[in-house]
Amino acid sequence: MQAIPRTLFADEHHQFRTAFRNWLDHEVVPNHEQWELDQITPRSIWLEAGAHGFLGLTVPEQYGGGGTADYRFAAIMAEEIGYTGVIGSANGMTLHNDIVLPYFIELCTDEQKRRWLPGMVNGQLIGAIAMTEPNTGSDLAGVKSTAKRHGDTFVVNGSKTFISNGINSDLVITVVKTDPAQAHRGMSLLILERGMPGFERGRNLDKIGMHAQDTAELFFSDVEVPVANLLGEEGKGFFYLMTNLAQERLGIAVGAVAVAKAAIEWTIDYTKNRIAFGQPVAQFQHSKFLLAELHTETQTAQVYVDRCIELHGDRALTAEQSAAAKYWCTELQNKVVDRCVQLHGGYGYMREYPIARAWADSRIQTIYGGTTEIMKEIVGRSLVGG
């Protein structure tokens, strides 16, 4: 069955998709298995991505970036990463582009932009954002890491965990309490840099999936951070986080639909060629009905996500709409991938098959970027208040 035509992209988007997919196929896909074993991607691939113009698409041209505000290019990257199944090896780049860089572009002073943006575009400086703490997940107001000001310096103490790009990162947007007596209004954003005394990285965390994506614990012991590394205004950190979370959640939804579509394609190919009881598995009524269900639900999700992308391009996407997209699409991703594993039978549990790797990689989707439960709370609150 032909998919519903998408009207979201123009010729320049299709050209960009082809270029990025070719790069993934030649530079990332052949190395993905090794990077999964290494549990980290080499910094050299970041330099390659930068050289090909795949980092800093929204960074102004004067700092070496692409100078585009068109989110559709970012969506294409998220989709192609999902289609190729190399999420662990390339997801850090979408984090760098779509989650970290908007803070730098919108909040940095001119001096900060000159200092950091060129390196973030060419791949020499890798970005991360550190929000979650060992005892603080969805409740950001509960952040315990502190930054006490002494003249022209903030002294930072505390720790973070589950930080994507945590090992490779050079610039870490760190959520701290500059006024511990306050909840949301006491939060600020500081840029901690690789090599600052007292800034230590813990182990590269051993996850169920996404092994090539380095995820680390970070520790701060009397780290002296110049006031010049304050991002935006002191005390407005929570406001900045809420402003940028809509794009983060939309990006997760975009990738979720892409993985679901890829899983269905892999499963159709497999079940057409797998013979059981004298006929292809695809010919059993149960297989047809299940594939029809998964295909229809995924197409429906694609239409909603495409509309969210259009709204985001018009700066009209609301927090509730992005939360709904994130919740629905990631839950659907897990459903689709799980059912597709079942249709693969025992081979679906073998990591040599992309469906098995996708199953392990997908589970985190309903947790990071805001859990399904928090997304439902956001949507529900918009409906009935509270």
Which residues are the active-site residues?
A: 248
Instruction: Write the DSSP string, 24-72.
Output: IIIIIGGGHHHHHHHTS--HHHHHHHHHTT-S-TTS-GGGTS-----HH
Tokens 């850090």 locate to 92
Rounded CA separation 257/302 (Å): 6
Please give the C-alpha separations between residue 16 and each of 22, 95, 310, in angstroms, as whole numbers.
Answer: 10, 19, 18
Please give the C-alpha separations between residue 74 and each of 190, 283, 349, 350, in angstroms, as whole numbers.
Answer: 25, 38, 32, 31
CA 134 to the chain's CA centroid: 20
Rounded CA separation 113/23 (Å): 28
Rounded CA separation 91/210 (Å): 9
Cβ-contact 92, 214 below 8 angstroms: yes
